[in-house]
Structure 1
């Protein structure tokens, strides 16, 4: 009895740690690779359409397909051997990836591709496909909601700047504020600068809607003749 137990333990240790040959179904492996490539292609299209990243989207998303396929390859090989799995951990601890991730959104999509590669490499084709479609749908809804909100509310006030230069001493900043208040949700003075023949004022502003902003522009066209210079600045688009 004791010899049988010892023999069983020896065989188990050999299976777990010795570098025995691993037989992988070729058809299953090819199916996993193709699925990983197709799903990562869908992720790439979703990233290009939904992302608001400032980097080159086409260039960055080119890594999605090879990343998923390579992850699928690695998982397909190491999932049968604990020794290979431990070796992979050691290899990754040596290799240092120095690619600069500029935005958290980029990291999310990279992790998305890695997750697809892991799922397909583990032969979880249905789970990988369903999860990818659901996540892409959520990203699309989130992006569509954000774009709709931006069109309705224009921008956050911290993104819009109104600069007023007054060279006519008969005009006061109070007169200018009264002109613009009816077009804005708020108009907050952030800084003022005074010279002999010039007073400069900078505001953070949030316009009520697109029509209010257009009306504000039309009104501003008449002010330079009265000794007032008006400038608008925005970190993002005011009007689409």
Structure 2
């Protein structure tokens, strides 16, 4: 009975070391920063990678803190399972790649929080090498742009113009994500997030859209914040 009570009790005073904790959290932050750079450089998501990459650091450090707390107590570990059962993601992850990087950030936090320095560093290095190999020549030289399109047209022509615009944008882009579309009385507004291989594709999209209607307004904006 005494053994079970000892396992359920907290042992921070015996096991917790401030220098070790600080060193581990600093190393964890450095690894997560490198993960951020890897995601921005080699990720293929057309969403704002620079913005999401900052979240990876927060997720990894939060995981580190949680594991550092619960690893010394069986009671806290069991309580964590119950607490996580009520947690739900309110924002859907659109691309599997984003989920993969989130798991990488969590694994770094888990490893460093459990004081497993060498396995964490070796595992992270291997993952980075794999990412670099898989990303080689993938979307090489490409970049993302916000494409804003405004067109005045009659209500009966809206379906036709929508189909033509979508076809032109899709045929000249590596990836396309429709962020917003607005239909008003005599107007249509589109907001696409597109990934194109070169500036020439931007010109082609613009020229082809102007063939639909000379009055169409086309604006390309950088996707970087």
CA distance in 2, matches of 1:73, 1:92: 15
Residue 34 of structure 1: aligned partner: 26
Relative to the length of structure 2, the TM-score reads 0.61
- Post-superposition CA distance 1:39-92 (Å, at most 9, x none): 011110000000110111111111111211111111111111110000011111
Relative to the length of structure 1, the TM-score reads 0.57
Equivalent residues, number: 149
Residues 76 and 122, structure 1, Cα contact 8 Å, conserved in 2 = yes
Residue 104 of structure 2: aligned partner: 112
CA distance in 2, matches of 1:52, 1:35: 27
CA distance in 2, matches of 1:99, 1:147: 27
Residue 234 of structure 1: aligned partner: 172
Please list every run of 5 or more consecutive structure 1 residues that lacks an aligned counterpart in the other structure: 1-9, 152-231
Secondary structure in structure 2 of the residue aligned to 1:52: coil
> Following TM superposition, by how much is the alpha carbon of 1:108 offset from its aligned partner in structure 2, in angstroms?
0.1
CA distance in 1, matches of 2:106, 2:132: 20
CA RMSD of aligned residues (A): 2.2
Equivalences for residues 114-193 of structure 1 within 5 A: 114-147=106-139
Residue 72 of structure 2: aligned partner: 80
Secondary structure in structure 1 of the residue aligned to 2:37: helix
Residue 15 of structure 1: aligned partner: 6
Secondary structure in structure 1 of the residue aligned to 2:23: helix
CA distance in 2, matches of 1:13, 1:42: 42
Relative contact order, higher structure (CA 8 A, sep 6+): 2
CA distance in 1, matches of 2:40, 2:54: 11
> Following TM superposition, by how much is the alpha carbon of 1:233 offset from its aligned partner in structure 2, in angstroms?
3.0
Residue 95 of structure 1, aligned match among 79, 84, 87: 87
CA distance in 1, matches of 2:137, 2:54: 27
- Post-superposition CA distance 1:82-119 (Å, at most 9, x none): 10000011111122221220100000000000000000
